[in-house]
Structure formats: C-alpha cells, structure tokens
Amino acid sequence: MFNSPILQMGYPTEASGSLIEKKPTVVFVLGGPGSGKGTQCANIVKHFGYTHFSAGDLLRAEIKSGSENGTMIQNMIKEGKIVPSEVTIRLLQKAILQSGNDKFLIDGFPRNEENRAAFEAIMLIEPAFVLYFECSEGEMERRLLGRNQGREDDNIETIRKRFRVFLESSIPVIEYYESKGKVRKINAGKPIEEVFEAVRTIFTAQDDKIAA
C-alpha cells in the first residue's frame, strides 16, 4: 500500500532507517482554520528551537522546484485528485533528514486517519505528542472574517465548510492519539500571549523530558 515505486522516486529506501537513527522529536500541530496555530508555531520556533514544516508548503515548494515529482503533484492537483499521503510523507521525510535539527513541528498534518497510519508506517516513528488548538467555531469565524486580507476562502460559507471538514477528518486523529495519552489541548480562544503561556508550559516540560 505504501510502496509504490513511482511515488518513491528520489527518496532512498534506507531513509526510514536513517530517520530512526536521527531520533527526531516530532510534534503534530492541529487546529481548525483560524485557531491561531500558525502564530503559535512561530513562537515555538523562536523560543524552543523547533523547525516548522507545513505539509502544504512542502508540496508547493516541490511543484515550484520543477522536479519530476513536483510535476506529478501539480498534475494531480490540476485533475482535482487528492495527493496521496505517501507523497506528502516522503517530502516530510526528506525535509527532516536534510535538516540539521532534531525537533520538528508538523503543522496541519495528519489531516485524517489515513494520513496518520501512512505516516507511522513509512516513517517508523510516532509523534512525541499532538498539540491541539481547541477553539470555538464562532471565535474562528470572527478571526477569519476580521483578517481582511482579501483571501477568497475567508467568506462565511467557505469558513464553515472548512470547519466541518476539519471536524470530520481531524477529530478522529486527535481521538486516536488521546487514547494513547499523547494529546495536549490548548484553549486557543484566549489572547495570543495567554495561549503562548500554555504552549510554553507544554514545551518546557517536553524539553525537560528530553534532557532527563
């Protein structure tokens, strides 16, 4: 299921072994649209030295690179097809291996249970924990509508659709990791500074755990 030779183009088969040797600390960052996770990821990078990867950004960068893999991704998107989990995970794998760091935030991924299962099967690692920014739909709507950045997807109908998709797809992932004691919930409806204080407590505890 996860061993398509076409999708493995450019990625050495020993990459997963190298990844285990690297012993990276991986934190999945999940939250609905407008939950403020992007802002908090920037704070975590600044204060705790993590490298921040967005699955969407990696796909866009691969397309822009003009590589064979990038062309394949672009064609799939043009045809309205969903990019297979393996493609995104191989890009994450490559980025982690090429990084000089050993602590990573993976933002907005896994989006669903299939993503999660594929990540663990291919990478052969599990996240240290999942940072979940919990925020009411009303507050997320207010923030997105107030951004005033001219984004086409910031209208009420689209926002509500994105929120529904998040609930349907990502909540099962959160529930799965919650059953393993790996979810750290943040009340993301508070002001940015207060949210980061809660985030800081979690990451300080994680750093202490690594150092122990």
Instruction: Enumerate the known binding-site residues for a ribonucleoside 5'-phosphate.
Output: 60, 81-83, 108-111, 151, 162
Q: How far apart are CA 165 and CA 42, in angstroms?
A: 25
Residues annotated within a binding site for CMP: 115
C-alpha count within 13 angstroms, C-beta hemisphere, residue 48: 27
Residues in a beta bridge with 52: 105
Phi, psi of 171 (to 5 degrees): -60, -40
106: alpha, beta or left? (left if phi > 0; alpha if psi -120 to 50): beta
Which tokens is 151 given?
């984004």
- Report whether 55 contacts 108 (CB < 8 A): yes
Q: What gap in Å lies between CA 212 and CA 208, rounded to an integer? A: 6
Q: Give binding residues for ATP as ranges.
A: 34-39, 147, 190
d(CA 45, CA 203): 11
Give the annotated binding-site residues. Answer: 34-39, 60, 81-83, 108-111, 115, 147, 151, 162, 190
